[in-house]
Amino acid sequence: MNGLDLSIVSFLISVFHTIDDRKNDGLQRHGKEGFIEMLQLSSLTSAAYSKKLSTSPSFCSLLPPSPSSRSLCSIPFAYSRRNLLFRWSTKPVYSRWRCHPSIASRESGGSVWLTSRGSRCVKLMATSLDREAEKLAEVLVEDGGDNRACESNPCLKLEELNWDHSFVRELPDDPRSDNMTREVRRACFTKVSPSANIINPELVAWSDSVAKLLDLDPKEFQRPDFAQIFSGALPLVGGLPYAQCYGGHQFGVWAGQLGDGRAITLGEVLNSHHERWELQLKGAGKTPYSRFADGLAVLRSSIREFLCSEAMNGLAIPTSRALCLVTTGQSVSRDMFYDGNAKDEPGAIVCRVAQSFLRIGSFQIHAFRGKEDLEIVRILADYTIRHHFPHLEKLSKSEDISFGSAQEGSPAVDLTSNKYAVEVAERTASLIAGWQGVGFTHGVLNTDNMSILGLTIDYGPFGFLDAFDPSYTPNTSDLPGRRYCFANQPDIGLWNISQFTATLSTANLISKEEANYAMERYGEKFMDEYQSIMTRKLGLTKYNKHLISKLLNNMAVDKVDYTIFFRQLSNVKADSNAPLDEHLTPLKSVLLDIGKERRDAWISWLQIYVEELVSSGIPDEQRKAAMNSVNPKYVLRNYLCQTAIDAAEQGDYQEVRRLLRVMEKPYDEQPGMEKYARLPPAWAYRPGVCMLSCSS
């Protein structure tokens, strides 16, 4: 194995991982342990496969992206003179393969044995490779991958999911279980079943990666009764459905009881990694919290939520996920613009998945109802820590978790009692910094839409920035005040945290000083995260406030496309001797219709930027790879959603599924998919596309 290239080993592992379940792959199997004999490789060179490895979807989907680059695949390992020693990793996907113990401490004559969990073995022989073997290897790389899901993780049928139901078991419930609209007092939830009228439901789209989180066999999506189960027409075996009670501030005004008006949680699944995942059907019918609504959802909004849940996950931003999307076969009447022109639209239900759908409003509702309900705030806080922040339970009073207040002479802040307030504040700050980094605007940052776990939840009228406008809001209900516009999101996050700390203070869970400290930590965490993100987006080694502020000002003046600009910026060369016009060339596709004055402004900024790049000393190609790992090529623009919606409403779901595949890997080049990275067409800015109401 002396001199064996890393990409060769990566290739071979991908081949073995792929062929293990193939029945007619032309390779000989031996005995019950499934030995796969000799794939010969000494003539296989890095040049032969490096390009294929970096562009092969089936290979790249084997492993998470490298920490240093999202566009290349890598696996952590080391090799000695004769033995490949597979380094153990805590990442489950990496730990599928390890060094066989029979060769861990001895020479093996040029052979390498790798084993996966279970008894499968693969033998690599460092001998010659003929062209036929190379052809076979190429076919396997291109054709494999779909049968990998069950190799190292359990693959369960729906009836075999591991349910736990801690929320129902440990929190106070509504004594009634009907769906009549009413005020629900002294309860965190109401047991209620899906009630949407379903006729011939149809599966529109699904996520294999979410199925894997649940240990669910992807073949279950092919079940003839799958759409009926996830429309709520048939019960999911083991589920215990309920709707959560919560309140919230809407546009800064306390709205009282809100709750899951059209979402019904099926229960919590514990997977093989001891992770808790809550399954929820959105649009499944009325609940006590539906107020004057029908509890249903339309295909239009359901497609948007399904796709954006998975797109945000692809961007590595904390989010609820989406297992599947089904149509109900029934029409739902909606007034999209609240202008009196309601129309019938296709009904749909999306199955949302998250560690929890607890939100700030889940705590607020009980604090606002008076002293008799404050105990529920304490019970809910303890529940949240026990199941979702278990690391915080280990904190105990000591100097290393006590911090002096900002004001001299004020008492120290003890994180023993303040632990969840700070955790929620920091997670929220980190989340919103991530939004700002990719140009995402949530659109409805009411406290009932803010996750306690720092997840992006409740996708309504969201939008990614096209032409950069800090005052952009995708929500027609947010006009003219633009409370929830892109630039305001960090401040709104702080305002929402202030409502959360006020709730905990009302329940005597934290003091005023501790509440203030949590809000201080929000500000500090947000700035730390945002500065880090923007520094990496520009490929710099240190934060430059003046440079970034000037850049954002230029982008706002010229309405520059946020996503394309940062992706193209990686093509600027760190060459201070190049003519000024050359620095501008990589950006011409986004700096459209600018006159001489604006052109000069951009050249002036680029001069300073290039000087920063030169001083960093980072080679251009290395910097480009790093920048492309944080600047996505693809984001879920509203017009792309609308294109998929238009087709789906005519019964064609292919564009929804295609968009899902593209958005799962937004940092990759994805040859053939370039049309999804283009500047938006003129029609993308019309009402109902770039801006929407909260109708669903």
Per-residue tokens: 299: 């295909």
d(CA 678, CA 253): 40
Residue 3 buriedness (CB in 10 A; 0-12 / 13-18 / 19+): exposed
Per-residue tokens: 645: 């919606």
Pairing of strands 29-30, 321-334: unpaired
| Residue whose token pair is 């000069």 | 600
Spell 355-364 as b/e; 16+ CB within 10 A means b: bbbbbbbbbb
CB atoms within 10 A of CB 41: 23
Q: What is the DSSP-derived secondary structure letter of residue 40?
A: B
Element (H, E) at 307: helix 299-314
Per-residue tokens: 585: 């060339």
Which among 181, 187, 182 has a CA at the least distance from the CA of 167? 187
Residue 40 buriedness (CB in 10 A; 0-12 / 13-18 / 19+): middle
DSSP one-letter string for 501-529: HHHHHHTTSS-HHHHHHHHHHHHHHHHHH
| Residue whose token pair is 């153990």 | 88
448 carries an active-site annotation: yes
Q: Please tell me whether the peptide bond between 241 and the residue prior to it is cis, using omega within 30 degrees of 0.
A: no
Q: Which residues pair with 349 in a beta bridge?
A: 326
| Helical ranges in 544-595 per DSSP H | 545-558, 562-569, 580-584
Pairing of strands 402-403, 413-414: antiparallel
| Residue whose token pair is 């595949």 | 661
Strands in 111-116's sheet, in edge-to-edge order, are 29-30, 35-36, 121-125, 111-116, 97-99
Per-residue tokens: 472: 């952009």
Contacts of 515 (CB under 8 A, 6+ apart): 421, 498, 501, 502, 504, 505
Residue 627 buriedness (CB in 10 A; 0-12 / 13-18 / 19+): buried
d(CA 526, CA 429): 5
Of the residues 448, 458, 466, 478, only one is catalytic, namely: 448
Active-site positions read 448
